[in-house]
């Protein structure tokens, strides 16, 4: 009985304590909300409504009223940089980085953001200086990734190699593809400076880094060809078929020229004719057509394109077919003779020549910008083949095949 009486007395007490705790939490919440300026909520509302200009104005007002809001300053700097106002972003992050009372983690964050601001503004030396101060700590990997991007922009390939190796060790991520391409860039620089020995050294290193790299044997063939060793050059270029045959069109003209230097033009033509029967026909069509035309004349080129149209009809093959036909037709005036029959024959032949020429011109106009290389990452289309996409700056994202797509 005593237990029940105590329980009845304790129930109102527990209820009262719970009511007081709830009142305290509500008052604290109201107090915290009241401490935040109205501009803060206005800025959030503008951001949610995708109105960054008005959001920036509201957040600037908050920062003016409460300079201690570091997270808000970071948000402001990011908004400025996104809008292209790099000078204002730099000022915001510089003010944060130089504050003596700022904790070290937030100072490192400010330096990282400042490095990105300088990079966006094109102040590459200052960007490198800021990011170099973050080679250890939580922002080390992020800073090194930005530094790698910076070195690629500056074409500082040795520094890019070093940065990629550091990232490879730090992130346990494979950067061999990029490092091999950086070695190839250094090899090309050496070739431009007439230093083939250095070029060969870098190309061999590229192959060691990434045995699947196709660019290195292409350049090794160029080095051999420049030294007058056409046979060695052909060994490098034709060896690409064992790595990835789809890259053969990139060296087809080189192969034809090397065989011509050896007096073996027929071997080059047989090689091209064989490849036209496979999956590389569309890419090798132009080289095969030009080689056949130069060696055996327009009639042979017409036959070659007729066979190709039967195997794989494309607009490009049709264009080359009519180009060969137009080249094989004699000028209208060459068949002039005596009498009406000759005049009639000349007129018919002249009309046919005009028709073929008109069709050729129309097809050339239609296919002039038809075939393009397309980046697998960003879809950037280009008439030339690039090892590094000009759109997204990724390496080896272009397939060596062009697509016939209008637009």
Looking at the structure, tell me whether residues 159 and 107 fall in a common domain: yes
Q: Give the pLDDT score at 121.
A: 81
Looking at the structure, tell me whether residues 94 and 116 fall in a common domain: yes
pLDDT tens digits along 284-338: 999 999 999 999 999 999 999 999 999 888 888 888 888 888 888 855 444 344 4
Last residue of a domain, one of 134, 158, 173: 173
Looking at the structure, tell me whether residues 168 and 73 fall in a common domain: yes
Looking at the structure, tell me whether residues 310 and 332 fall in a common domain: yes
Looking at the structure, tell me whether residues 92 and 107 fall in a common domain: yes
Contact 402, 373 (CB under 8 A): yes
Confirm whether 36 is domain-assigned: no
N-to-C CA span, the chain: 92
Q: Which residues of the chain have pLDDT under 70?
A: 1-69, 72, 330-351, 363-364, 366-371, 403-407
For the question of whether the overall pTM of this predicted structure is more than 0.85, the answer is no
> Which residue, among 207, 268, 280, 289, has the nearest Cα to 243 in the 3D structure?
207
Looking at the structure, tell me whether residues 251 and 325 fall in a common domain: no
Confirm whether 6 is domain-assigned: no
Looking at the structure, tell me whether residues 280 and 356 fall in a common domain: yes
- What is the number of residues in the chain? 407
Compute the mean pLDDT over every residue in the chain, rounded to the nearest whole number.
79
Residue 243 CA neighbour count, 13 Å, CB half: 18
Looking at the structure, tell me whether residues 75 and 156 fall in a common domain: yes
184 is in an annotated binding site: no
Residues forming beta bridges with residue 381, ordered by sequence position: 374
Q: Give the pLDDT score at 23.
A: 46
Contact 59, 39 (CB under 8 A): yes
In 150-251 the beta strands, taken as DSSP E runs, fall at none
Q: Give the pLDDT score at 100.
A: 77
Q: Quote the CA–CA distance of 289 and 304 in Å, as a whole number.
A: 8
Q: Which CATH number fits the domain that encloses residue 219? A: 1.25.40.10
Q: Give the pLDDT score at 91.
A: 79
Q: Give the pLDDT score at 65.
A: 42
Looking at the structure, tell me whether residues 116 and 83 fall in a common domain: yes
Looking at the structure, tell me whether residues 304 and 381 fall in a common domain: no
Which residues fall within 8 angstroms of residue 328, CB to CB, at 6 or more apart? 297, 298, 299, 302
Residues forming beta bridges with residue 373, ordered by sequence position: 382
Q: Give the pLDDT score at 165.
A: 94
Confirm whether 23 is domain-assigned: no
Confirm whether 228 is domain-assigned: yes
- What's the total number of domains in the chain? 4
392 is in an annotated binding site: yes
Confirm whether 22 is domain-assigned: no
Q: Quote the CA–CA distance of 66 and 81 in Å, as a whole number.
A: 22
Confirm whether 196 is domain-assigned: yes
Looking at the structure, tell me whether residues 275 and 356 fall in a common domain: yes
Confirm whether 38 is domain-assigned: no
Contact 97, 114 (CB under 8 A): yes
Last residue of a domain, one of 173, 207, 241: 173
378 is in an annotated binding site: yes
389 is in an annotated binding site: yes
Confirm whether 397 is domain-assigned: yes
Domain around 318: 267-368
Looking at the structure, tell me whether residues 359 and 405 fall in a common domain: no
Last residue of a domain, one of 263, 294, 326: 263
């Amino acid at each position: 009985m005593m237990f029940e009486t105590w329980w009845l007395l304790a129930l109102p007490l527990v209820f009262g304590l719970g009511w007081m705790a709830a009142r305290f939490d509500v008052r604290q919440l109201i107090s915290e909300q009241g401490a935040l300026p109205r501009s803060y909520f206005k800025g959030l509302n503008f951001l949610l409504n995708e109105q960054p200009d008005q959001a920036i104005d509201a957040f600037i007002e908050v920062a003016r009223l409460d300079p201690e809001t570091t997270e808000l300053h970071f948000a402001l700097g990011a908004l400025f940089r996104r809008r292209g106002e790099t000078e204002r972003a730099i000022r915001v992050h510089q003010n944060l980085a130089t504050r003596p009372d700022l904790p070290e983690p937030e100072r490192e964050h400010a330096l990282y953001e400042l490095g990105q601001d300088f990079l966006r503004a094109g102040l590459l030396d200052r960007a490198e200086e800021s990011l170099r101060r973050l080679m250890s700590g939580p922002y080390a990997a992020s800073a090194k990734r930005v530094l790698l991007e910076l070195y690629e922009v500056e074409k500082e390939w040795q520094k890019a190699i070093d940065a990629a190796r550091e990232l490879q060790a730090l992130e346990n991520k494979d950067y061999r593809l990029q490092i091999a391409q950086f070695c190839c860039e250094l090899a090309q620089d050496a070739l431009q400076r007439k230093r083939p020995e250095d070029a060969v050294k870098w190309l061999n290193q590229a192959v060691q880094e990434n045995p699947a790299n196709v660019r290195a044997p292409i350049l090794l063939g160029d080095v051999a060809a420049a030294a007058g060793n056409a046979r060695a050059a052909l060994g490098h270029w034709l060896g690409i078929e064992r790595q990835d045959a789809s890259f053969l069109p990139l060296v087809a003209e080189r192969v034809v020229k090397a065989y011509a230097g050896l007096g073996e033009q027929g071997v080059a033509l047989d090689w091209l004719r064989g490849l036209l029967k496979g999956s590389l026909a569309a890419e090798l069509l132009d080289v095969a057509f030009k080689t056949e035309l130069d060696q055996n004349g327009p009639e042979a080129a017409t036959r070659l394109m007729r066979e190709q149209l039967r195997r794989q009809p494309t607009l490009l093959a049709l264009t080359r077919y009519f180009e060969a036909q137009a080249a094989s037709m004699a000028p209208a005036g060459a068949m002039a003779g005596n009498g009406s029959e000759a005049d009639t024959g000349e007129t018919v032949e002249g009309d046919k020549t005009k028709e073929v020429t008109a069709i050729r011109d129309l097809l050339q106009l239609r296919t002039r910008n038809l075939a393009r290389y397309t980046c697998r990452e960003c879809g950037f289309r280009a008439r030339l083949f690039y090892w590094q996409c000009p759109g997204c700056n990724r390496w080896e994202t272009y397939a060596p095949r062009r697509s016939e797509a209008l637009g």
